[in-house]
Amino acid sequence: MKSELYTIYKDQVVPALKESLKIGNVMEVPKIEKVTINVGYGRNVKDKAYIENVEKTLTLISGQRPVRNKATKSISNFKIREGMEIGSSVTLRGSAMYDFLYKLINLTFPRVRDFRGLSSDSFDGQGNYAIGLKEQLAFPEISGDAANMIHGLQIVVTTTAKSKEDGFALLEKIGFPFKKNK
């Protein structure tokens, strides 16, 4: 069964983007490739309970088991050694990605405290978008009493767009709530 957001993308977003970006071939229309959810352990690198809590919340949020990320080089100022586990991440593709994005747009963003829209400055040059959340409690799967250790997370939406403007058009048409420029 196809995700609701995927059917919206195919039926409404693709024709609208094809017309607004003046694209001749449907295969050239930008699409979302993957969504990556990252959590860095920070100063709690040696706290096993914190790491287990982070992995449990990432599993609840994404429906997948996270992968532990290791440091590629040593940084003495941060007391990090090469090979040390410094974070966890989950990569979503396909229907799981569209289900997560639908939940993020329609359930999570309205639950974020003092939410006034997403900044359009978080695009990189290739049309990929990064969102940072200060606490995981905005997700409906996480109950307030179950989250005794609050941590932030980063969500990166990777697209096939060639520029920031194309990526912005894609995510805006899908339903991301961007701030209105004054």
Can you say whether the dihedral through the CA atoms of 154, 158, 159, 163 is positive or negative?
positive
The yes/no answer on whether domain 4-174 falls in CATH 3.30.1440.10 is yes
Q: Which helix (H) or strand (E) holds 49?
A: helix 48-62
- What span, in angstroms and rounded, lies between the C-alpha atoms of 80 and 75? 5
User: Hey, is 29 helix, strand or coil?
Assistant: coil
- What span, in angstroms and rounded, lies between the C-alpha atoms of 43 and 113? 25
Q: Give residue 37's pLDDT.
A: 94
Tokens for 163, please give them. Answer: 């520029």
**Does the predicted model carry a pTM greater than 0.75?**
yes
* Alpha carbons within 13 A on the beta-carbon side of 104: 27
Q: Give residue 182's pLDDT.
A: 52
- pLDDT tens, residue by residue, 144-169: 665 677 888 899 999 999 989 999 99
Residues (pLDDT < 50) of the chain are none
- Residue extents of the structural domains in the chain: 4-174
